[in-house]
Structure 1
């Protein structure tokens, strides 16, 4: 079947597999992959209508987080039957494996960031953590990106975190400091902040390692029609300190304070039953790991603000202002772990972002209120 004019290789592949451009849904929203949903053939799934997801990595993508596994599909195949919340993999034709598309809604569309999560959902999130705790690096025969000599030793939580800090420093900060000369410095962030961050988070307790999802936020949870919770997008999964996975989850979920505190305590109880020692020192270390996530967000959100507006050439000054507000908020949140001496004002942040769009004069003339 001929490809549609202007379509991407991923969409062409979806059309080829489905045989009908009219049934291809997408692309779905997502940073790392271009994703399409197509009906699966009856010979592969039986008489009931089931749809699958075709996911292709986006080209020339900047990764803000360290990847651990060479192939997400190989990881998911290894986890089939071990982690129940993962949609099944389906071999459609020879050489083509799709993940089942869960018909439902994201948790974020049902309960927005900052809202309390219902108890039945919270219980399923904790059950997911239990299942991850049972997957050790020795029981997971999946090819990883780095060789064994380059990985932190089992239980070395401090070494694990240092790997993540080093990735943020070398792959996010330095590479983008070259792309956008002077941007970070003008916003009050310099190379010395990483030394200050390392001192701030030093002294983590040792904890046994297990499999981590690495990106458990509301848009990566799907609630189906039976209120069952499914977990998608495993490309950032890794093996490491389980408390880091909790910190990432709490940072991204934005639970109300009371529910966040309760989830942390319930997580500790559940994890100690599955992996003794996995919550060791959590009262001292969880704040450190949350501070790392706040610091990490500074570098990712500044770059994403640049990319967001650059991808919308027709956007007005209000979009620039919205991105400036986000950047100012993450700078304020990370002021303590990065030991920032002073914070730029909102107008200063907006002016610096505008410099990269050639919008400086326009933003001053037409800046919205608020």
Structure 2
């Protein structure tokens, strides 16, 4: 495609895809070089979030002119390519926990307003999520219930054959989902809109002109607009004062775009954040265990650090899941035991 294998960059680091960046042979030369992303889903990947659209490229094509700062697309033969945004990720410029400049936070707020205007009936993009995982318009309780159901069935239960022992040693049982449902029920109804659902620092790119671009739309869905804010706040780890300002500006912006979008946010935002904390327990336990098992030899320092991260996410979710926080010794010993019984070749856990 590029005409010169030496100019191909990749594979780039990413969880969901194997990605290469290429300039296309014969493509018109602009003032700045234009490169495109060619990528494929990684085989055998564990998905911890539901996918609602059949194609990210189809979604981006439908959003052109409606959402600012998203990649252009072209068709190169049978391959659909996204324009590679030249710049630095927000995370490379401002690490987790750091505040970000108002010029950039303002662009994020503007993005939320644009998303609030994109209603489920206004896009004809093919959706793949089944009716089991779709809630009726405005049914925020039903929307959250389906997110919980996905975590319960597709993350917890589906991975039980390999992770049963580790889950149970950490105190993570089926009953935790009942506790979670009780903790987060009773949401205020809000009009549904398009959600990016994964707005963290590595999914924002700042170009040389200070413009913010939003990438990686594969987890986009229609649903409760407050869920997008909760996910964003949870992943961004803003300083507390900037988190408060972002929430205030979000409320003003989405209300202007779609009245009712921020209704009941004071009571509901903590509930949605509680779900994100609970969800992270199951995803982080699985990801941490698998990352340790990939090591040729289990490094004790790496194991201790990994155990500390698992304990941290469990501590944050003790109330919504109704579980205790195991000691560092218990977490580390449980992870070590799991790794010792894991078959990295077959990808199966020995009994």
What TM bracket, shorter-length normalisation? Answer: over 0.9
Q: List gaps (5 residues or longer) in structure 1.
A: 1-16, 360-370
More moved, 33-42 vs 308-317: 308-317
Residue-by-residue CA offset, 1:140-175 (whole Å, 9 max, x unaligned): 110101345752100000000000000000010111
From 301, 310, 317, the equivalent of 1:318 is: 301
Q: Conserved in 1, the CA contact under 8 Å of 2:132 and 2:146? A: no
**Which residue of 2 is the match for residue 347 of structure 1?**
329
**Which residue of 2 is the match for residue 78 of structure 1?**
62
Return the alpha-carbon distance in structure 1 between the equivalents of residues 130 and 104 of structure 2: 37
Deviation at 1:48, TM superposition (A): 5.0
Q: How large is the Cα RMSD of the aligned pairs?
A: 1.4
* Equivalent residues, number: 341
From 67, 91, 105, the equivalent of 2:88 is: 105
Give the alignment's TM-score, normalised by structure 2: 0.94
From 91, 98, 104, the equivalent of 1:121 is: 104
Residue-by-residue CA offset, 1:199-228 (whole Å, 9 max, x unaligned): 000100000000000000000000010010
Q: List gaps (5 residues or longer) in structure 2.
A: 342-351
Return the alpha-carbon distance in structure 2 between the equivalents of residues 29 and 357 of structure 1: 24
Give the alignment's TM-score, normalised by structure 1: 0.89
From 37, 50, 57, the equivalent of 2:21 is: 37
Secondary structure of 1:35's counterpart equals strand
Aligned pairs (5 A) from 1:183-332: 183-314=166-297, 316-332=299-315
Return the alpha-carbon distance in structure 2 between the equivalents of residues 269 and 237 of structure 1: 23
**Which residue of 2 is the match for residue 364 of structure 1?**
none
Larger RCO, structure (CA 8 Å, separation 6 or more): 2
**Which residue of 2 is the match for residue 135 of structure 1?**
118
Q: Conserved in 2, the CA contact under 8 Å of 1:40 and 1:49? A: no
Secondary structure of 2:164's counterpart equals coil
Judged with a 3 Å threshold, the aligned counterparts in structure 2 of structure 1 residues 45 and 188 are, in CA distance, closer, same or farther, namely farther
**Which residue of 2 is the match for residue 367 of structure 1?**
none
Return the alpha-carbon distance in structure 2 between the equivalents of residues 121 and 42 of structure 1: 35
Q: Conserved in 1, the CA contact under 8 Å of 2:254 and 2:262? A: yes
Matched, 1:169 2:152: yes
**Which residue of 1 is the match for residue 48 of structure 2?**
64
Q: Conserved in 2, the CA contact under 8 Å of 1:42 and 1:48? A: no
Return the alpha-carbon distance in structure 2 between the equivalents of residues 348 and 147 of structure 1: 39
